[in-house]
Homo-oligomer: A and B are copies of this chain.
Amino acid sequence: MNYKYIREAAYEANMQLPQLGLVLFTFGNVSEADRSQGLFAIKPSGVAYNDLSPEKMVIVDFDGNTVEGSLNPSSDTKTHAVLYKQWESINGIVHTHSTYATAWAQSQRDIPIFGTTHADYNTVDIPCAPPMNDEMIKGNYEYETGFQIINCFKEKNLDYREVEMVLVGNHAPFTWGKNAAKAVHNSAVLEQVAKMALLTEQINPQAPRLKQALINKHYERKHGPDSYYGQS
C-alpha cells in the first residue's frame, strides 16, 4: 500500500467523526497531508464510515488532482487542497455539518468568546466567513470556498496557526491542525463551544464576553512559551 501513513491517519481520523457524534451518515470528511510529497489522503465521497478502510482513502495533490485511488474523493476535496496549498503548516483538515456549529454558521454570526473553554483554544471569537458572492458560487465552488476562508482570515487579521477553526456562512464548519487527529479534536471542541455559547445567551442575553486578562491567561497556560497544561 502506497502512502500508508497518511492513508491510515486519514482513515483513523475519519472514523472518529461518528464516534464523537459529529456526523450523520456521510456528512463529513477528514484529510491528512504529507508535505514532503505535496499530497493528502482524503475520504472517498458518499461512502459510509462503516465501509471505509485505509485502502479506500483517495490520494490527491494540492491542486485537487487525484493521484491514486479508484473512488471519487470527497466533494469538498478542492477546499482541502486550497487550504493545504495556501497555509503551509497544517497537515490535517476536517469538514463536518455538526449540529451546533452548523447552526451558528447558518445564523451567520461569529461565536462570542464567553468562557475559558473557548479561551483554552482561541483568544478571539470563532470567525464566521460570509456566504460567497454569486460569481464564486457559480464558478469553481469548492475551490472558492477555500479562498473564502482564507480571505475571511485576512480581513479579520487572524493567523491560521492560532485559530484552527472557522464557520462558513450558511454552510458549516471547517477545522484544521498539525495533523488529522488534531483537526478532529478541534471539530469536537468547536461543537461543544458552539453549544455552550447558545446556552449562555439563552440563560443571559446580556452575557459579557470573557475579560481580556482571562483570555490571555487560559490561552497561555495551554499554548504559551510557559505553558503548563498536559505532559511535556
Chain A residues proximal to chain B, CB less than 8 Å: 24-25, 27, 44-47, 71-72, 75, 97, 99-100, 102-109, 114-117, 131-132, 134, 137-138, 141, 170-172, 185, 188-189, 192, 195-204, 207-208, 210-211, 213-214, 217, 221, 228-232
Q: Is the CB of A131 within 8 A of B214?
A: yes
A69 to nearest B CB, angstroms? 11
Task: Determine which of B105, B138, B196, B208 lies in contact with A108 in the assembled complex, contact meaning CB atoms within 8 Å.
Answer: B208
B231 & A46 in contact (Cβ 8 Å cutoff): yes
A75 x B228 contact (CB < 8 A): yes
| Contacting pair A199 B99 (CB below 8 A) | yes
Please tell me which one of the listed residues B170, B171, B207, B217 contacts residue A106 in the complex, with CB atoms under 8 A apart.
Answer: B207
Given known pairs A45-B230, A199-B103, A202-B198, the reply for A221 and B75 (CB within 8 Å) is yes
Given A207-B107, A221-B75, A229-B46, A114 contacting B214 (CB threshold 8 A) = no
Q: Could you jot down 28 A-B contacts, CB within 8 Å?
A: A24-B188, A27-B117, A45-B231, A46-B229, A46-B230, A47-B230, A75-B221, A75-B229, A97-B116, A97-B117, A99-B192, A100-B199, A102-B115, A102-B117, A102-B196, A103-B199, A103-B202, A106-B115, A106-B196, A106-B200, A115-B170, A137-B213, A138-B213, A138-B217, A170-B210, A198-B199, A201-B203, A202-B202
Complex Cα distance, B134 from A230, in Å, reads 25
Query: B137, A72: Cβ atoms under 8 Å?
Result: no
A46 to B172, CA, bound (A): 29
CA distance A211 to B133 in the complex (A): 9
Q: Which residues of B contact A115 (CB under 8 A)?
A: 102, 105-106, 170-172
